[in-house]
Amino acid sequence: MRKILAAAAVSAAVAVTLTGTAQAESNQYCNSVTQIGSTAYVKNYDETVASVKQFKGCGKNFSYIYVWDSWIARAGRDFTLRTHILTRDNNTHGYKTGARGQRELWGGPADTLDDCTRAHGEVDGSSYFLFAKTSERC
């Protein structure tokens, strides 16, 4: 019975690891951020490629993108991430571009807490360009 329970626990841990669900890492600009709004998903047809989130903290907004393990396992690391905060008037704030193959990226601090905003994230590969935007937060 113990072997079965141990095997089930290992299987569950592996399943969680392989799903690639995004967990926000610490933000280099602000050590206390809170997600606002829902998570958006960068898709390649039905396959989830990355998660895009918007955070607030330290009087600023931040965008965040994280590429899922399952996409990297299938497509490799031949991509570049970009992310920023987009205001209702289509202005960008905190725009950042990651290094080739970087799997997560925080946008820079955006002084947009008084604006209606979305987080925008892009995964740009040699043969594809995919993106998603979160829902608008006012």
The overall average pLDDT reported for the chain is 87
Predicted structure pTM score = 0.82
Phi, psi at 102, each rounded to 5°: -65, 130
- Taking the domain 22-133, which CATH number applies? 2.60.40
User: What one-character DSSP code corresponds to residue 10?
Assistant: H
Domain residues of the chain, as ranges?
22-133
For Cα atoms 38, 44, 46, give the angle at the middle one, nearest 5 degrees. Answer: 75
Residue in the block written with tokens 């299987």: 11
At residue 26, the pLDDT reads: 80
Distance CA 21, CA 119 (A): 18
Taking phi first (over 0 means left), then psi (-120 to 50 degrees means alpha), and beta for anything else, what does residue 37 get?
left
* pLDDT band (50, 70, 90) for residue 25: low
Convert the pLDDT of each residue in 109-126 to its tens digit.
Answer: 999 999 999 999 999 999
3-state secondary structure at position 74:
helix
Question: Residue 45, exposed/middle/buried by CB under 10 A (0-12, 13-18, 19+)?
Answer: exposed
